[in-house]
């Protein structure tokens, strides 16, 4: 039991860092530009597909990832310049609808370019094995790679936001957008840059998960809602909040999936637990979000000045 | 223009003194409503039954969109979980039917009541939040409802359930396509009229006041929370009615009806038609379904032009189809 | 604008019924959009090959297959079924990959006294309590294939298994099916969210911890590849043998080979058909399919091919009179056609009574990954729900 628990904790951590990569871009765009981007998941999908093609082209997964990251960032940049930029002044409602339209377009374009069946990305041998972390705790190498690269990126983002000029502008933007533009900062290139950064992060998340689940059409549409839950729980615009909430939700979701049924069986009869377990574990993250919103509408870690 | 102003902008074009609007807009509204009634019946007469069912679908979804418009267009509450009410209404028909209770006089009040109850509970919690947090909390509640119904294996779970016979109205036989269509149409007209009356009542004035300037309304001594909650419950109940109709229309009930993409579609119908105009959502539902039907007949890649239209309509058409009609088709 | 739309749509609808009046029409509903379209396309390809083999005719009359896309959603499938049912010239609607789409679409077809032919889905309800004289299947009943697997596991001396399947009708039927015949211990079972969940880390960790000897899974479509991959990455190959139903097929194998998922090689599966089955109809079908599309047909394709050949035999029997529903039903029940699975006959519930084979994933002579038949598990197997059917 305790071995299984530790492994599930690691699985939860892996889901958590993945969610963080998605949520980081989402919370930046939301916090700074006040733009609700449902289509953030499409960048995640594009990352996966582009990386798949490049992996087959170059014969190396690592090279595929390194080449795909700037491409996704550029796509994100043009996405901002062509569409998103014209929507900052509109209501959240318009954002939801326009980005919903983008999801439809992106899904269809991917189907037209890569076909409907999705792509399995082959991993090099040194990544596809398992590692014995502790005695009896054997874990797939690649999932460890996801965890460590996710944590590294998180650390990089922390540095970027805390110690660089760009980070300072981002922080300032998240807490008071009008003031930043009044101070003469070139807001439009800042926004485009932030958007491209968010796109790259989402793309990386897609590239990291694709060797596990394959690159498939619509892969972003399920996870994006979870990413929204993460940023709402963490507090919109807060990188720290996004990180903590992502890890928390990743772990809760994974543990819920694996243990909730057994826990319920202690209290109710087994047949009902079989039904209620999966239902409740799917609902878990939404329940958390509703509770957080009801008790603390601004999220757990809202940016300091608003 | 900031967010607050943009919502007021939505509010501007609802200073409609009459039910059908003025001049040209009024004429077109009446023509469209008449066509929506006449065309499917004509097609049915000529032996093409498909358009009767298709129009019934437009009408049912229009009721749902009209209900959403009450809170979204007039109350400024962007609910991203309205599909949950549709689903609850549908299951309120399906579950009693499964146990052999087929009376419509049970189904419909149950659908409306259950949806109202769900709206009361979720609204009471959700309305503590504002703006985008409200969007998200309504979505969260809808997802919970979705997973709840998904887990009911007795009632089909993931597979949904087939409604082997439609709700029994006694004197009305709604298994007949034409009768069913006429019933839906009559209910749509009733709902539109109801929303019109609500919006133009003292209650509606306060609701719109809360939307444009809540602080002022509070200062005037109104309990804005209670007003919003009441509107939310009315909207949910009306949407439950739409759900009960949709269950009968499809003869099939599935939890899929409650997913967030469905809520998004309802929102789109409202915006497409012009949020904050009483008839707007009816146009929106019609245009949405027609586009879907026509585009998907031409190509399996119809999501592409559809998505493009979505973006263009958000970028360039203010006030939706209804706004277009008002301005005489000028963009 | 809207007015013109309606009139235009109406006019085109009226015209389209008039234009093809000379052709005999059969409806075919499958999935042509979403990632699941890969299965629908395979079926469509097989239907096209069947029509080529028949010279574009059904029962000797020029014919047209009207394809509709169910969008992977029951209510869309139902709407499309309604549309086909309301076309007076269409008497037979075939296809249906998914059990939930089939169950949602059955009522309008039966109400209109038209004929439904499943080329894949076989939920227990339609085989048992809700069986109908207007329903025929060229596939199988959900329980049969996993039952054959359970039987084989017994023969092979497997003592304990762990069961994983998606949480929807077919998934539950598959899990129940294997439990019906398997005599060893089922150490645990996980039903995962469908179709969203593709990351099975938590479930695989549980399976591993359970200490079961083997793992039995049902993951159709894209989930199959994802599962095999994670099974391999979790290092379960060699410690927990893999037994699958409907998860590894002609569609997924080329992709698995491209992705180098050799965890699948040597895994065993049961099925009512295999590309290597030795009969004339099958050889011709497999050869022509490979020549045209460069890959082995999947079982979905084989069943779709059979459905068209079955319809052809029935249309010939009524001499092209598609209004003769009773005649069509009687002729369908006879099943006088050359099936790619060899002998073919219907049981009382109009489900096929057929053999089930044990297959293994191997590399074929050209180095392509494929399947071959190892043994026959069941001969003329009747599904367990046939007894509940009052036909």
- Please check whether residue C77 is in contact with residue C41, taking contact to mean a CB–CB distance below 8 angstroms: no
Residues C51, C77: one domain? yes
To the nearest whole Å, the CA of A176 is away from the closest chain B CA by 14
User: Comparing A206 with C14, which gets the higher pLDDT?
Assistant: A206
Per-residue confidence (pLDDT) for residue A279, from 0 to 100:
78
Q: Lowest mean pLDDT: which of A239-253, B27-41, C351-365?
A: B27-41
pLDDT digits 0-9 by tens, A40-72:
999 999 999 999 999 999 999 999 999 999 999
The average confidence (pLDDT) of chain A is 88
| Position B20 confidence tier, pLDDT thresholds 50, 70, 90 | low
Residues of A in contact with C233 (CB under 8 A): 123, 128, 130, 140-143, 212
Is residue B16's pLDDT more than 80? no
Residues of A in contact with B267 (CB under 8 A): 93, 96-97
Is residue B185's pLDDT more than 90? yes
Q: From the list B31, B294, B300, which residue is nearest C9 (CB)?
A: B294
Per-residue confidence (pLDDT) for residue B24, from 0 to 100:
62
Mean pLDDT of C87-97: 93
> For A253, how many CA atoms within 13 A lie in the half-sphere containing its CB?
29
Rounded to 5°, the CA angle B116-B118-B122 comes to 120
Mean pLDDT of A293-298: 86
User: Comparing B329 with C67, which gets the higher pLDDT?
Assistant: C67
Q: From the list C74, C169, C172, which residue is nearest B252 (CB)?
A: C74
Give the residue on B whose Cα is nearest the Cα of A178: B2
Per-residue confidence (pLDDT) for residue B298, from 0 to 100:
82
Q: From the list A8, A138, A222, which residue is nearest C202 (CB)?
A: A8
Q: Count of A–B CB contacts within 8 Å?
A: 134
Per-residue confidence (pLDDT) for residue C347, from 0 to 100:
93
Instruction: Report the DSSP beta bridge partners of residue C216.
Output: C163, C243
- Please check whether residue A25 is in contact with residue A199, taking contact to mean a CB–CB distance below 8 angstroms: yes
Of C18, C28, C67, C19, whose CA–CA distance to C311 is shortest? C28
In a mutational test of the A interface, the residue from C33, C34, C171, C233 whose CB has the highest number of chain A CBs within 10 Å is C233
Q: Lowest mean pLDDT: which of A236-240, A258-262, B286-290, C315-319?
A: A258-262
CB atoms within 10 A of CB A195: 28
Mean pLDDT of B165-173: 88
| Position B12 confidence tier, pLDDT thresholds 50, 70, 90 | very low
Residues C179, C226: one domain? yes
CB contact under 8 A, B315 and A36: no
| Position C114 confidence tier, pLDDT thresholds 50, 70, 90 | very high
pLDDT digits 0-9 by tens, C321-379:
999 999 999 999 999 999 999 889 999 999 999 999 999 999 998 889 999 999 999 99
Residues C225, C373: one domain? yes
Does residue A102 sit at the B interface (CB-CB below 8 Å)? yes
Q: Lowest mean pLDDT: which of A8-12, B213-217, B221-225, B258-262?
A: B213-217
User: Comparing C329 with A302, which gets the higher pLDDT?
Assistant: C329
| Position C16 confidence tier, pLDDT thresholds 50, 70, 90 | very low
Per-residue confidence (pLDDT) for residue B130, from 0 to 100:
84
> How far is C-alpha C121 from the geometric centre of its chain's CA atoms?
5
List the domains of chain A with CATH numbers: 2-295 (1.10.3470)
Residues C106, C223: one domain? no
Mean pLDDT of C230-252: 90
Q: From the list A91, A228, A294, which residue is nearest B128 (CB)?
A: A294
pLDDT digits 0-9 by tens, A81-105:
998 988 888 888 888 888 989 999 9
Is residue C87's pLDDT more than 60? yes
To the nearest whole Å, the CA of B316 is away from the closest chain C CA by 17
Per-residue confidence (pLDDT) for residue B21, from 0 to 100:
55
Is residue B18's pLDDT more than 80? no
From residue C31, how far is each of A113, C48, C310 by CA, in Å? 19, 15, 21
Q: How far apart are CA C372 and CA C1, in angstroms?
A: 58
Residues C185, C306: one domain? no
Q: How far apart are CA B239 and CA A46, in angstroms?
A: 37
Per-residue confidence (pLDDT) for residue C19, from 0 to 100:
44
Per-residue confidence (pLDDT) for residue A170, from 0 to 100:
82
> How far is C-alpha A37 from the geometric centre of its chain's CA atoms?
12
Give the residue on C whose Cα is nearest the Cα of B297: C68
Is residue B43's pLDDT more than 50? yes
Instruction: Supply φ then ψ for residue C235, to 5 degrees.
Output: 70, 30
Residues of A in contact with C248 (CB under 8 A): none
Per-residue confidence (pLDDT) for residue B14, from 0 to 100:
46
| Position B47 confidence tier, pLDDT thresholds 50, 70, 90 | confident
Q: pTM for the whole thing?
A: 0.86
CB contact under 8 A, A283 and B148: yes
Per-residue confidence (pLDDT) for residue A297, from 0 to 100:
83
Q: From the list B39, B164, B296, which residue is nearest C10 (CB)?
A: B39
Mean pLDDT of C153-162: 94
To the nearest whole Å, the CA of B301 is away from the closest chain A CA by 6
Per-residue confidence (pLDDT) for residue B19, from 0 to 100:
58
Instruction: Report the DSSP beta bridge partners of residue C94.
Output: C28, C117
Q: Which is it for the CA torsion C73, C74, C79, C80, positive or negative?
A: positive
Residues C241, C129: one domain? no
Residues C242, C317: one domain? no
Q: From the list C6, C8, C99, which residue is nearest B35 (CB)?
A: C6
Mean pLDDT of C265-272: 93
Q: How far apart are CA C218 and CA C227, in angstroms?
A: 10
Residues C291, C328: one domain? yes
Per-residue confidence (pLDDT) for residue A273, from 0 to 100:
76
Mean pLDDT of C140-147: 93
CB contact under 8 A, A229 and B268: no
Q: Lowest mean pLDDT: which of B41-50, B123-132, C281-290?
A: B41-50
Per-residue confidence (pLDDT) for residue B13, from 0 to 100:
45
Mean pLDDT of A146-173: 90
Instruction: Could you list the beta-strand ranges (E) of C287-334.
Output: none
Burial of B12 (C-beta count, 10 Å sphere; 0-12/13-18/19+): exposed
Is residue B324's pLDDT more than 70? no
Mean pLDDT of C86-91: 90
Please give the tally of structural domains in chain C: 2
Q: Where are the alpha helices (DSSP H) in B46-103?
A: 50-69, 83-98
Residues C36, C129: one domain? yes
CB contact under 8 A, B287 and C2: yes
CB contact under 8 A, B129 and A293: yes
Q: Which domain holds residue C285?
A: 2-140+278-346
Please report, rounded to a whole number, the percentage of residues in chain B having pLDDT higher than 70.
Answer: 88
Residues C183, C294: one domain? no
Q: Lowest mean pLDDT: which of A183-187, C237-241, C372-376?
A: A183-187
Mean pLDDT of C233-261: 89
- Please check whether residue C351 is in contact with residue C141, taking contact to mean a CB–CB distance below 8 angstroms: yes
Give the residue on C whose Cα is nearest the Cα of A136: C209
Chain A residues with CB under 8 Å of a chain C CB are: 3-4, 7-8, 11, 14-15, 56, 111, 115-123, 128-130, 138, 140-143, 209, 211-214, 216-219, 222, 254, 257-258, 278, 282
Q: From the list B144, B268, B308, which residue is nearest A283 (CB)?
A: B144
List the domains of chain B with CATH numbers: 3-326 (1.10.3470)
Per-residue confidence (pLDDT) for residue B318, from 0 to 100:
67
Q: How far apart are CA B261 and CA A283, in angstroms?
A: 17
Residues C199, C324: one domain? no
User: Comparing B322 with B71, which gets the higher pLDDT?
Assistant: B71
CB contact under 8 A, B250 and C99: no
Report the CATH number that the domain containing residue C193 is assigned in CATH. Answer: 3.40.50.2300
Residue B330, helix vs strand vs coil: coil
Per-residue confidence (pLDDT) for residue B1, from 0 to 100:
35
Is residue C17's pLDDT more than 60? no
- Please check whether residue B94 is in contact with residue B110, taking contact to mean a CB–CB distance below 8 angstroms: no
The average confidence (pLDDT) of chain B is 86
Residues C28, C99: one domain? yes
3-state helix, strand, coil in chain A (%, to 5): 80, 5, 15
The average confidence (pLDDT) of chain C is 89
Per-residue confidence (pLDDT) for residue B302, from 0 to 100:
86
Q: From the list B53, B159, B296, which residue is nearest C169 (CB)?
A: B159
Q: From the list C69, C86, C100, which residue is nearest B49 (CB)?
A: C86
Mean pLDDT of B192-196: 93
CB contact under 8 A, B144 and A96: no
Of C200, C326, C36, whose CA–CA distance to A218 is shortest? C36
Q: Lowest mean pLDDT: which of A135-139, B198-202, C232-236, C324-328?
A: A135-139
CB contact under 8 A, B283 and C2: yes
Per DSSP bridges, beta strands C57-58 and C369-381 are unpaired
Of A208, A145, A119, whose CA–CA distance to C225 is shortest? A119
Q: Which is it for the CA torsion B138, B288, B42, C16, positive or negative?
A: negative
Chain B residues with CB under 8 Å of a chain C CB are: 31-32, 35, 39, 43, 46-51, 53, 57, 153, 157-160, 162-164, 250-252, 254, 256-257, 283, 286-287, 290, 293-294, 296, 300-301, 303, 321
To the nearest whole Å, the CA of A193 is away from the closest chain C CA by 32
Per-residue confidence (pLDDT) for residue B9, from 0 to 100:
42
| Position C317 confidence tier, pLDDT thresholds 50, 70, 90 | very high
ipTM value, please give it: 0.86
Per-residue confidence (pLDDT) for residue C238, from 0 to 100:
84
Mean pLDDT of C62-67: 94
Ramachandran assignment for C262, one of left (phi > 0), alpha (psi -120 to 50 degrees), beta (any other): alpha
């Amino acid at each position: 039991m305790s071995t299984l628990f530790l492994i599930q904790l690691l699985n939860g951590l892996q889901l958590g860092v993945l969610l963080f990569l998605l949520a980081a871009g989402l919370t930046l765009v939301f916090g700074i530009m006040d733009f609700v981007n449902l289509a953030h998941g499409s960048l995640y999908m594009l990352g996966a597909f582009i990386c798949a093609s490049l992996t087959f082209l170059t014969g190396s997964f690592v090279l595929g990832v390194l080449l795909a990251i700037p491409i996704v960032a550029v796509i994100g940049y043009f996405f901002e310049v062509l569409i998103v930029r014209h929507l900052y002044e509109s209501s959240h409602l318009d954002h939801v609808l326009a980005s919903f339209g983008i999801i439809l377009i992106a899904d269809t374009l991917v189907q037209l370019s890569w076909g409907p069946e999705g792509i399995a990305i082959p991993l090099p041998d040194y990544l596809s094995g398992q590692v014995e972390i502790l005695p009896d705790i054997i874990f797939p190498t690649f999932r460890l790679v996801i965890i460590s690269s996710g944590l590294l990126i998180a650390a990089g983002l922390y540095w970027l936001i805390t110690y660089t000029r760009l980070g300072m502008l981002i922080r300032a933007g998240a807490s008071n957008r009008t003031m930043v533009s009044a101070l003469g900062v070139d807001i439009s290139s800042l926004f485009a840059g932030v958007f491209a950064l968010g796109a790259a992060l989402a793309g990386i998340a897609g590239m990291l998960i694709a060797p596990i689940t394959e690159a498939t059409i619509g892969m972003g549409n399920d996870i994006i809602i979870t990413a929204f839950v993460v940023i709402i729980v963490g507090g919109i615009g807060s990188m720290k909040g996004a990180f903590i909430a992502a890890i928390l939700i990743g772990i809760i979701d994974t543990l819920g999936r694996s243990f909730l049924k057994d826990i319920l069986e202690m209290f109710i009869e087994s047949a009902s637990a079989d039904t209620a377990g999966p239902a409740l574990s799917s609902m878990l993250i939404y329940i958390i979000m509703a509770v957080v919103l009801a008790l603390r509408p601004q999220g757990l870690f809202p940016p300091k000045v608003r | 223009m900031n967010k607050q102003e943009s919502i007021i902008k939505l509010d501007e074009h609802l200073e409609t003194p009459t039910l059908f609007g003025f001049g040209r807009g009024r004429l077109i509204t009446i023509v469209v409503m008449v066509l929506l009634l006449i065309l499917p019946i004509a097609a049915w007469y000529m032996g093409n039954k498909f358009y009767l069912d298709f129009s019934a679908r437009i009408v049912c979804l229009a009721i749902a969109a009209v209900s959403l418009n009450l809170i979204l267009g007039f109350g400024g509450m962007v609910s991203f979980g309205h599909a949950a009410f549709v689903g609850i209404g549908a299951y309120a028909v399906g579950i009693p039917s499964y146990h052999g209770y087929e009376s419509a006089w049970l189904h419909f009040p149950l659908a409306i009541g259950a949806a109202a109850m769900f709206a009361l509970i979720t609204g009471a919690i959700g309305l503590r939040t504002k703006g985008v947090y409200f969007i998200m909390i309504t979505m969260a509640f809808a997802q919970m409802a979705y997973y709840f119904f998904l887990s009911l294996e007795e009632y089909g779970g993931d597979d949904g359930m087939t409604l082997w016979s439609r709700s029994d109205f006694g004197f009305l036989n709604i298994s007949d396509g034409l009768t069913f269509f006429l019933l839906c149409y009559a209910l749509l007209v009733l709902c539109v009229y109801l929303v019109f009356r609500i919006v133009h009542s003292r209650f509606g004035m306060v609701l719109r006041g809360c939307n444009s300037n809540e602080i002022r309304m509070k200062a005037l001594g109104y309990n804005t929370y209670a007003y919003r909650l009441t509107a939310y419950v009315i909207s949910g109940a009306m949407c439950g009615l739409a759900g009960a109709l949709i269950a009968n229309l499809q003869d099939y009930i599935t939890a899929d009806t409650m997913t967030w993409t469905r809520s998004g579609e309802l929102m789109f119908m409202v915006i497409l038609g012009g949020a904050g105009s009483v008839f707007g959502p009816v146009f929106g539902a019609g245009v949405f379904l027609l586009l879907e039907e026509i585009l998907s007949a031409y190509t399996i890649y119809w999501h592409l032009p559809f998505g493009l239209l979505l973006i263009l309509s958000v970028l360039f058409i203010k006030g939706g189809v209804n706004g277009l009609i008002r301005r005489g088709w000028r963009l | 604008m809207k007015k013109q739309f309606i009139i235009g749509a109406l006019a085109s609808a009226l015209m389209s019924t008039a234009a093809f009046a000379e052709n005999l029409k059969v409806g075919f509903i499958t999935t042509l959009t979403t990632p699941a379209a890969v299965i629908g396309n395979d079926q469509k390809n097989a239907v096209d090959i069947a029509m080529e083999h028949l010279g574009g005719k059904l029962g000797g009359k020029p014919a047209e297959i009207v394809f509709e896309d169910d969008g992977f959603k029951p209510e869309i499938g139902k709407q499309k079924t309604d549309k086909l049912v309301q076309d007076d010239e269409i008497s037979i609607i075939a296809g249906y990959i998914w059990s939930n789409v089939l169950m949602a679409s059955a009522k309008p077809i039966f109400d209109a006294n038209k004929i439904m032919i499943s080329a894949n889905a076989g939920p227990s309800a339609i085989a048992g309590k809700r069986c109908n004289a207007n329903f025929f299947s060229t596939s199988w009943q959900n329980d049969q294939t996993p039952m054959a697997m359970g039987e084989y596991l017994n023969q092979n001396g497997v003592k304990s298994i762990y069961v994983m399947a998606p949480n929807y009708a077919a998934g539950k039927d598959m899990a129940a099916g294997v439990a019906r015949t398997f005599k060893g211990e089922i150490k645990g079972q996980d039903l995962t969210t469908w179709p969203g969940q593709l990351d099975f880390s938590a479930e695989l960790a549980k399976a591993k911890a359970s200490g079961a000897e083997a793992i039995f899974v049902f993951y159709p479509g894209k989930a199959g590849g994802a599962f095999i991959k994670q099974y391999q990455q979790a290092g379960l190959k060699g410690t927990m043998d893999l037994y699958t139903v409907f998860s590894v097929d002609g569609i997924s194998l080329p992709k698995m080979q491209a992705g180098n998922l050799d965890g699948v090689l040597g895994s065993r599966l049961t099925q009512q058909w295999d590309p290597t089955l030795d009969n004339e109809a099958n050889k011709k079908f497999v050869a022509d399919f490979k020549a045209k599309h460069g890959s082995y047909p999947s079982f979905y394709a084989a069943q779709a091919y059979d459905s068209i050949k079955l319809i052809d035999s029935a249309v010939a029997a009524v001499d092209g009179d598609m209004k003769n529903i009773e005649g069509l039903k009687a002729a369908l029940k006879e099943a006088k056609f050359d099936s790619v699975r060899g002998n073919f006959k219907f049981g009382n519930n109009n489900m096929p009574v057929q053999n089930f084979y044990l297959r293994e994933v191997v590399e074929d002579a050209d180095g392509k990954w494929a399947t071959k038949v190892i043994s026959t598990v069941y001969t003329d197997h009747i599904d367990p729900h046939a007894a509940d059917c009052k036909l």
